[in-house]
Structure 1
Amino acid sequence: MFLKQPRPLAFGKMSFVVFILASAVSVAPLPADMDKGRRKVVHVLEDDTGAVIVQTAPGKVVTHRGGSITLPCRFHHEPENTDPDRIRIKWTKVTDALQFEDVFVALGRQQRVFGAYKGRVFLEQAGPGDASIIIQNVTLEDYGRFECEVTNDMEDDTGFVNLDLEGVVFPYYPREGRYKLNYHQGEDACKQQDAILASHSQLHKAWLEGLDWCNAGWLEDGSVQYPISHPRDQCGRKDNPAGVRNYGYRHKEEERYDAFCFTSKLNGKVYFLKRFKKVNYAEAMKACVRDGSAVAKVGQLYAAWKFQLLDRCEAGWLEDGSIRYPIVNPRSRCGGSQPGVRHLGFPDRKFRLYGVFCFRKNKDETAGGTETTKSPAESLTRMKSGNSIPMNATAVI
């Protein structure tokens, strides 16, 4: 994310600028733990036709699924007595290089919210020149880049804000085996497991935290990459440096790889169903239903490991027919020295060799988030996750 430098536009009698208070600005980088939550002074300079403006901006525009977040955007126009009813504020989501999805538009007192954002997006209305919006009940699909455009008659300017989510990246392949998914199948596979295709920045962050995976997978931009923390000959030569290996952009229909998925905080709870007997897949499904739940998805188990700190040294069925178990505190009898979600493959569904992990939604939550949607005037509570795990706890298998 970046600071949109204001450019005075002189058409007729008015000059007009927009500036974005985004999650990252052009200042010296700080460690992630120091940067988060800090406030920075941002100096925005106009040319000789304007003035010097000093503003403060939050350290990061980051939340988690189910949380609430402000996407900051402020504007200044001259002369100051410009009719506010003639100013249009428009927010769009950048879905591809040249594709945009309408989110919100306001012209004076008239406002409209579009699509999946209805009932969740509001103007912050923190005073004159404030074009910020609040997004409530944040979803995985909200992750990404937003554009703020402010227009007055023939004059306009834009800026961008990147919305980031706290979460976890995990590699995924189906029962059919590895390298079986084209891009669209990888996208669908992640959605079926309560996740989305990960971005490059999310995968890079996971690698910094210890993710090491020797199979290449699709990312949301159509590229194919894989993270290597411990170089070895079977993963692109032992003498190559550690890092995120990149195959570049591949043919989305014809080429096949695994997928790297991303998920965030749960709107519910994952738990291991205590039973005296082991169950097969069909019995596992019925057992969770009888307990008022459903068999957990892979993404839900990873989210529970990350945010609930779920630690269970006992393998169980998941919704896709795989057998996995989450380990936060490694011990020798539980699959090695690194924390992570262990994967035992896709056994015959008739085997009565395992338990089951169930997922139960929170009863007081809507499908979209953790609180009933309210307007900003109804004492909106901004939520921020305080959960953390060890730096290397993103390592898997």
Structure 2
Amino acid sequence: MWIARPLLVTLMHLLLESFAQRFSNGYFYQDIVNGNGNGEIYFSGVRLLVESTQHSVFAVQGSNVTLPCQFRYEPELNEPRRTRVKWFWQPAAGGGQEKDVIVAMGTRHRSYGSFKGRVRLRREAPGDASLVINPLEVDDTGRYRCEIIDGLEDESVVVDLEFRGVVFPYYSPRGRYRLNFLEAKQACEEQDATLATFDQLFTAWEEGLDWCNAGWLADGTVQYPVSVPREACGGTGFAPGVRSYGLRHHRLDRFDSFCFTSTVRGEVYFLQHPVKLSFTEAVRVCAEDGGEIAKVGQLYLAWRFRGLDHCDAGWLADGSVRYPVTRPRANCGPDHPGVRSFGFPPQHHGYGVYCYKA
């Protein structure tokens, strides 16, 4: 039967409009005419729901972590459906585009990039699409998105992963304000740490970190935390907080750095030795004891999470001399906990040494 083109277009529009009215918010509705001639809407489909029991997960570098994600249908299905699971990751520092982590359908799965071989789906129960990462690496923090795809329908949920650790200020052995952005990043990595994010520095400030020297952060800004306003630290006319110099030139501008470390593995200890040691001797005696000279980040973690408390100053791997105090007392520095620093003395001077065993 021949139908005029304008009439055909009109019929197509009516059909699409009718379908759009009956398919809404993941549900399919069916029109049924009742005895009074009024249209009644009856539910005749299922809806996919994706949920997480935690939207922020804290972990420690080098450990394993599970990012929760579960999916289900309303109403509940009698038989399982063929679904595809995809996890994406967006870095914490600087944002950027999402990157693939893993894709799975049934028993088949594939992981990508730096996550290859380190990730899997937990699958403890029907609908469990939780992501297991083992071991956690230094750059794994950020925003993860769990996406469930069922035919043309997909739903997702977001989980943020943060490391639990400690922020510490760090400056070059050459002196204050000697590091550009790339050098600051490298300096933190050499001390078993990374450049801190603003959120990590802000949390450290809330916990009492007070430091007048400005340092690089992971987003390329330069900031510093002040708990007690004073003339030597920006003046007394400003309230306590994290002061910012804003974004700076990565190569030309030079400051200190704020590092963040989260690897709680191994043991840091003060090596008892009958005589004071030069830096070269300190490196040697740690090796003879079956370990290695400790890094600054390792000492901070041992102080913060293992309660390392020792009043004797000791060499560290960067050539600095420091000691950790958790119980302030007479003849042990200031009246608050912290890692005390003697800076970078001449390497022929005699001190103790802090060693590390994995």
What's the secondary structure of 2:331's corresponding residue? helix
- The verdict on how the C-alpha distance between 1:154 and 1:186 changes in structure 2, with shifts beyond 3 A counting, is farther
Aligned residue for 2:70? 74
Q: Does 1:261 align with 2:259?
A: yes
Contact 2:184–2:257 at 8 Å: present in 1 too?
yes
Partner amino acid, structure 2, of 1:355? G
Q: How far, CA to CA, are the matches of 1:90 and 1:338 in structure 2?
A: 48
Is the 1:323–1:343 contact (alpha carbons within 8 Å) kept by the matching residues of 2? yes
Q: Distance in 2 between matches of 1:308 and 1:216?
A: 28
Give the whole-Å Cα distance in 2 for the aligned partners of 1:340 and 1:358: 19
Determine if contact 1:68/1:136 at 8 Å carries over to the other structure: yes
| Structure 1 residue 81 displacement after superposition | 6.8
Match of 2:50 in 1: 18
Cα deviation, 1:249-306, whole Å, max 9, x if unaligned, reads 3232332221111112421001111111111111111111111111100000001101
CA contact (8 A) 2:141 2:162 kept: yes
| Distance in 2, Cα, partners of 1:300 & 1:254 | 30
1:45-96: CA deviation from partner (whole Å, max 9, x where unpaired): xxxxxxxxxxxxxxx52222333322112223568478643x2211122124
Amino acid at match of 1:192: E
Question: How far apart, CA to CA, are the structure 1 residues paired with 2:27 and 2:280?
Answer: 69
Q: Give the TM-score, by structure 2 length.
A: 0.81
Structure with more contact order per residue of length (Cα contacts < 8 Å, sep ≥ 6): 1
Structure 1 CA distance for aligned equivalents of residues 236 and 190 of structure 2? 35
Q: Are positions 1:93 and 2:89 aligned together? A: yes
Structure-2 residue corresponding to 1:359: 356
CA distance in 2 between partners of 1:195 and 1:241 (Å): 30
Contact 2:60 2:264 in 1 (8 A): no
Match of 2:106 in 1: 108
- Give 1:225's aligned residue: 223
Match of 2:248? 250
Unaligned regions of 5+ residues in structure 2, if any?
1-23, 30-44
CA pair 77-180 structure 1, distance change in 2 beyond 3 A? farther
Matches of 1:92 and 1:217, distance apart in 2: 31
Q: Which residue of 1 aligns with 2:203?
A: 205
State whether residues 320 and 342 of structure 2, in contact with CA within 8 Å, keep that contact through their aligned partners in structure 1. yes
Say how many residue pairs are matched: 317
- Which protein is bigger by CA-based radius of gyration? 2
1:16-55 CA deviation, whole Å, 9 max, x = no partner? 44333333xxxxxxxxxxxxxxxxxxxxxxxxxxxxxxxx
Offset of residue 10 of structure 1: 6.2
Is 1:163 the counterpart of 2:195 in the alignment?
A: no
Counting aligned pairs with the same residue, the percent is 48
Tell which deviates more after alignment, 255-264 or 295-304. Answer: 255-264
Contact 1:216-1:258 within 8 A present in 2 as well: yes
Contact 1:151 1:157 (8 Å CA) reproduced: yes
How many Å separate the matches in 1 of 2:81 and 2:197?
A: 38
Task: Provide, for residues 104-156 of structure 1, a one-character-per-residue CA deviation record: whole Å limited to 9, x for no partner.
Answer: 21122211223443443221213333221122333333222212222234332
Distance 1:215 1:8, change over 3 A: farther
TM-score in terms of structure 1 length: 0.74
